[in-house]
Amino acid sequence: MIKTANKFSTMLLGLAMAFSGFLMSCEGPEGPAGPAGTKGDTGATGKDGKDGITKCQACHSDAAADVNLKTAQYNLSKHGTGEVYLEEAGRIGCGGCHSGDGFREAIALGKDDPTSLATSKINCKTCHTIHKAYDSTDWKLSFSSAFNLRFKGLATDANVDFKTGNLCGKCHQARTYTRTPGDFDTISAASSTSSYSRFGPHYGTVANVFAMKGLNNIEGKEYSGSNPHANLAKGCVSCHMGKNSTNPAAGGHTFQMSVAQMGELTECKTCHSTGIPTAKATQIKALLAEYRQLLINKSLLDTTQALGEEGYNVLGEYAKLSAVGKKTAIKKADGDALLNYLYLAKDRSNGAHNPGYVLFMLQNGVDYLKK
């Protein structure tokens, strides 16, 4: 019965729509103008409108405690305070991830990179659709859908889905780089006078490590497990924006993770009922240090180019050239080992992003370099 009724109402609706369309398209010529109305005929005074400023005060006043807390937290985040923006401002090719308006333009175009904008810092407007409706719907996220990574390496498909965290992964992913097919990688100098190259995944490698797309299987050794954190309810946001009940300067809009904070998150307790383990992190830290030293010993890694400010050291490590300004050819497996290190070191989660995988890939690289 219900089905028939539904069908019927759909039919009626279809007819009504067709009919109104018919009326519109069959409008005849305009008739003669009517007589002029009586002069001085004013309507009744309308009701007073809502005071414009009340709308604004929902977010701009001392009473907007939640917004103010989030702003205070955001003021601690490197998104706003980091020094990279100062260098990359205005550079379109970098604006998709280093500037707020560039990110939004790229999203609107359905592209990775913007075409004209790269002039504002990463701010609230980067991630939220601020000043559209002037109400709480403006907190809608600017980007949240699954997307294709810029660089997927050996993976057969580039699509990733970190749920709410898609917003994060869109920027925290490897940039593309080329490898010469065959046995050798050709590493080019950053400039004719520089002693380092920019060969590799750039600095934000988290999305690739999380999704296991981009890294190399050194001498064919492949990880067979999956990421136990792949199905967290909000992806990256489950951890990085989790609340810390006693410390407003951790989690939330600081995006900062801490061990204390991980222990508080209820979502984690379904699997980690007795607290967050640390065994793998300890092994991972030791292996990373060993891996780094092995690369330095083999003259594959340049550790001298990092930005001066604290926190940037690991990010500023690059493939080393055999001579200043020159192209260098290196063995494929050496290239694989070097690239994997750049991914894993710049990930900087000590395994939290993908514990078993990070451990396996580090062991794989260290075993190869020690042969």
Residues 230-259 that bind ligand HEC (CB under 6 A): 232, 234-241, 253, 255, 257
The separation between CA 62 and the C-alpha centre of its own chain, rounded to angstroms, equals: 31
User: Of these, 114, 200, 201, 204, which contacts ligand HEC (CB under 6 A)?
Assistant: 204
CB 229 within 8 A of CB 357: no
- Rounded Cα–Cα distance for residues 208 and 329 (Å): 25
Give Cβ neighbours of residue 204 (< 8 Å, ≥ 6 apart): 97, 171, 172, 173, 174, 346
152 binds ligand HEC (CB under 6 A): no
List the structure tokens of 24.
């519109």
Q: Does 106 bind ligand HEC (CB under 6 A)?
A: no
Question: Which range of residues in 17-25, 127-135, 213-221, 319-327 is near ligand HEC by CB under 6 A?
Answer: 127-135
Q: Are 207 and 193 in contact (CB under 8 A)?
A: no
For the CB of residue 71, give the shortest distance to ligand HEC in the complex, in Å: 4
Residue 196's φ and ψ, nearest 5 degrees, are: -135, 170
Helix (H) or strand (E) holding 318: strand 318-319
Q: Which is nearer to ligand HEC, 31 or 52 (CB)?
A: 52
Secondary-structure breakdown of the chain: helix, strand, coil percentages, each rounded to the nearest 5: 45, 5, 50
Q: How far is the CB of 43 from ligand HEC (least distance, A)?
A: 28
Question: Residue 351 or residue 365: which is nearer to ligand HEC going by CB?
Answer: 351
CB nearer to ligand HEC: pick between 89 and 296:
89
CB 248 within 8 A of CB 72: yes
Nearer to ligand HEC, 298 or 316 (CB): 316
Interface with ligand HEC: number of residues (CB under 6 A): 99
**Site for ligand HEC, residues 255 to 284, rule: CB under 6 A:** 255, 257, 262, 265, 267-268, 270-272, 276-281
Q: Which is nearer to ligand HEC, 138 or 290 (CB)?
A: 138
Residue span 51-90 as binding mask against ligand HEC, x where in contact by CB under 6 A, dash where not: -x--xx-xxx-----xx--xx--x---xx--xxxx--x--
173 binds ligand HEC (CB under 6 A): yes
Q: Which of 311, 324, 329, 331 binds ligand HEC (CB under 6 A)?
A: 311
The single residue among 351, 361, 364, 368 that binds ligand HEC, judged by CB under 6 A, is 351
The structure tokens 């694989």 sit at 336
- Kindly state the tokens that stand for 48: 């007073």
Tell me how far, at minimum, the Cβ of 132 lies from ligand HEC, in Å. 9
Q: Which residues contact 122 (CB under 8 A, 6 or more apart)?
A: 79, 80, 85, 98, 99, 100, 103
In the complex, minimum distance from the CB of residue 11 to ligand HEC, in angstroms, rounded to a whole number: 40
Please give the Cα distance from 365 to 217 (Å, whole number): 9
- Assess 202 for contact with ligand HEC (CB under 6 A): yes
